[in-house]
């Protein structure tokens, strides 16, 4: 009990660090920005696999809150993939990688290590951005909108006879896979972030904290999406977009706190406080 109390005190100290006031907002902005190249890439691959744009539009309208889908649909209804779109998509990912680059810089500050050469950091930031985007998509599709997507599949008449069984299996696999995949991806990102070789055992506490917090926040957002998508008392028609942005910010904040927890653990081990 005493150890838990000391850990809570340390957590409050970690949260009060100045980096925690800056990086989450940066990361959230660049994650939100990365949605445009992601959507473009989705439409491109849909074309390769002969999936019509109309099918994707219908799917988005039936599974994502109205205001959010209205924001995304113009990109889905574009003219397809061409040279200009390709350049825009690459540029979008490069700009979006600024979020991962901020993570690297902040990790170096927290771990008290020197920055590697700029080009090396940018290449690593690009790789981290791809992992972050995959993690972001997984959180949205499985944890946030998963129930809506399943209901839409049922509405098409698929699995009608075994609907209850499918739902139970989905529920079990959803949380099992979510915990495993989120923990794995977060741990990879935390290990990569500092410009120094960090043993994976030193990122476990931060990864566990982030994974559990991600799942809790995603569950709350999923409940909102399923039950209050028409809520517009404060922001009118923009309510769903505002809530989505807050959701992304919370994810970014939690992710940053996880980095700080790992850095604190690493520094304490190096000082011989505990092993």
Give residue-wise pLDDT tens across range 240-262: 677 778 888 888 899 989 988 89
3-state SS, 166-210, equals HHHHHHHHHHHHHHHHHHHHHHHHHHHCCCCCCCHHHHHHHHHHH
The tally of domains found in the chain comes to 1
212, pLDDT greater than 80:
yes
In a domain, 236, yes or no: yes
8-state DSSP, 194? S
59, pLDDT greater than 90:
no
Q: Which residues constitute the domain of residue 247?
A: 18-270
In a domain, 3, yes or no: no
Residue range 115-171, pLDDT digits in tens: 889 889 988 988 888 888 788 778 777 776 777 777 777 776 666 667 677 777 777
In a domain, 25, yes or no: yes
In a domain, 255, yes or no: yes
In a domain, 200, yes or no: yes
In a domain, 96, yes or no: yes
Distance CA 185, CA 182 (A): 5
In a domain, 13, yes or no: no
Q: Tell me the two tokens of residue 46.
A: 């849909």
In a domain, 1, yes or no: no
Q: What is the pLDDT of residue 207?
A: 93
Average model confidence (pLDDT) for the chain? 75
In 3D space, the residue among 9, 10, 14 whose CA is nearest the CA of residue 256 turns out to be: 14
78 near 103, Cβ under 8 Å? no
81, pLDDT greater than 70:
no
Q: Find the range with the poorest average confidence among 13-17, 81-85, 123-127, 260-264.
A: 81-85
């Amino acid at each position: 009990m005493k150890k838990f109390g000391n850990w809570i005190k340390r957590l409050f100290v970690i949260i009060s660090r100045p980096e925690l006031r800056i990086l989450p907002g940066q990361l959230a902005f660049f994650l939100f920005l990365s949605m445009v190249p992601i959507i473009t890439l989705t439409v491109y691959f849909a074309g390769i696999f002969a999936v019509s744009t109309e099918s994707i539009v219908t799917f988005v309208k039936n599974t994502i809150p109205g205001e959010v889908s209205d924001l995304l649909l113009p990109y889905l209804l574009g003219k397809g993939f061409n040279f200009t779109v390709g350049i825009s998509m690459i540029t979008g990912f490069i700009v979006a990688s600024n979020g991962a680059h901020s993570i690297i810089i902040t990790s170096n500050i927290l771990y008290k290590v020197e920055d590697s050469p700029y080009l090396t950091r940018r290449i690593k930031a690009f790789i981290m951005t791809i992992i972050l985007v995959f993690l972001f998509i997984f959180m949205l599709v499985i944890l946030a909108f998963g129930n809506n997507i399943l209901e839409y599949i049922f509405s098409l008449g698929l699995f009608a006879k075994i609907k209850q069984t499918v739902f139970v299996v989905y529920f079990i696999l959803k949380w099992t896979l979510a915990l495993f995949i989120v923990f794995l991806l977060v741990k990879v990102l935390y290990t990569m972030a500092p410009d120094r070789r960090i043993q994976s055992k030193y990122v476990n506490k931060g990864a566990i904290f982030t994974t559990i917090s991600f799942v809790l926040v995603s569950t709350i957002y999923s409940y909102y999406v399923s039950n209050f998508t028409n809520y517009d008392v404060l922001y009118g028609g923009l309510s769903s977009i505002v809530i989505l942005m807050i959701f992304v910010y919370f994810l970014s904040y939690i992710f940053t706190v996880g980095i700080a927890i790992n850095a604190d653990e690493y520094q304490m081990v190096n000082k011989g406080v505990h092993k």
